[in-house]
Amino acid sequence: MKARITFCLLLMPILGVGLLSGCSSTGSRKPVTTASTTGGYVMKPYIRKGGGFYKDDGLPTQIPENIDQIPNASPRPEPLRKAANRPYTVLGRSFVPMTQLQPFSEQGIGSWYGTKFNGLKTSNGDTYDMFAMTAAHPTLPLPSYVRVTNLQNNRSVIVRVNDRGPFHDGRVIDLSFTAAYKLGYVDQGSSRVRVDLIIPDSSTGMTYAEVSKDALAANEAKIDDKTRYGEEIAKPGTYVQMGAFQNGFNAQVLRNHLLRELDWMTTQKVHVYAEPPWHRVQVGPFANRAEAEAVQTKIRDALGGQPHITIRPERVAGAQ
């Protein structure tokens, strides 16, 4: 059962208040491979071996033909993304990310995230590729590199941490599909793992102050708030508001958390609207208040808190 956590619907500037349609083969025909529409992968059908996964965030129907040969991430010094390493709060739980690379190791449950997030922006500003060797972690520096070992079979992979999550109690890391596949727990959804932070030799002790201003500025410019958050144009209608943030990063973290926690929620329904100074996380639009209230109740029953109803009127032609 998901732990009940409390919403903080408005926050102060420095803190966030943040199917598989299974493929089966019959007969003796050889599977047909096709070129992927993203990433340049050559794909083959994926046959599920059983186990469980989140509805609508599950196993793909096709995977790269060479998935076993996809290499580990290669650790290298990178400037840390300052905006992605600030303290934040997701539905009442506060997190303080590490702001430098230092020895770190933990054990717990590793999970993975897949098709529902493929192609969306990560907390570090990258585009999530479920077939790359990446991971999400609540507090490790972004970006950073870790070795993840499946304690049930002793397999290990190296991944680049570029996203925030998971936020379930007891879970310590979310891996990409390929990383979880290589560790052997894709079909069951999770496994007990050990996570060890890797510190590239030339970046030991690297902090923001030690990164050149030019390098940090270049990194920041690629993924500033205007590019990443609130680019959607709000449509008129009735919405369920989940939170309002002055920090766009925290709004995006909350949006991703809702998508992970609520397996019935679709990406098309959860929005981040930038309306200075606020970034509003809203679910909708719905045709009428009754529909919105039904979803409001469903969210409240699943996660607790007090999401509220808000109405966006039609825009007046010529209005600014």
Which CA distances in Å does 162 have to 24, 63, 78, 252, 277? 33, 22, 12, 14, 26
Q: All domains of the chain, ordered by start, with CATH?
A: 35-202 (2.40.40.10), 227-312 (3.30.70.1070)
The predicted model gives 114-123 an average pLDDT of 85
Structure tokens at 255: 């949006």
| pLDDT given at position 143 | 96
C-alpha dist (Å) from residue 311 to 153, 287, 288, 292, 308: 52, 11, 9, 10, 10
The reported pLDDT for the residue numbered 47 is 53
Q: Note the pLDDT tens digit of each residue in 181-217.
A: 999 998 888 999 999 999 886 543 333 333 334 443 4
| Better-scored residue on pLDDT, 46 or 38 | 46
**Whole-number Å distance between alpha carbons of 236 and 40:** 38
Q: What is the 3-state secondary structure (H, E, C) of 84-129?
A: HHCCEEECCEEECCCCCCCCCEEEEEEEECCCCCCCCECCCCCECC
Provide mean pLDDT across the span 223-232. 47
Q: Is the pTM of this model over 0.85?
A: no
State yes or no: pLDDT of 73 exceeds 50.
yes
Instruction: Work out the pLDDT band at 313, boundaries 50, 70, 90.
Output: confident
Tokens in use for 86?
A: 């600030």
Q: Report cis status (omega within 30 of 0) of the bond before 166.
A: yes
DSSP 15: S
Tell me: pLDDT of 70 over 60.
yes
Q: Report the distance separating Cα 306 and Cα 299, nearest Å.
A: 9
**Which range, of 96-110, 226-240, 288-302, averages the lowest pLDDT?**
226-240
Res 221 pLDDT > 70: no
> What's the pLDDT at 312?
87
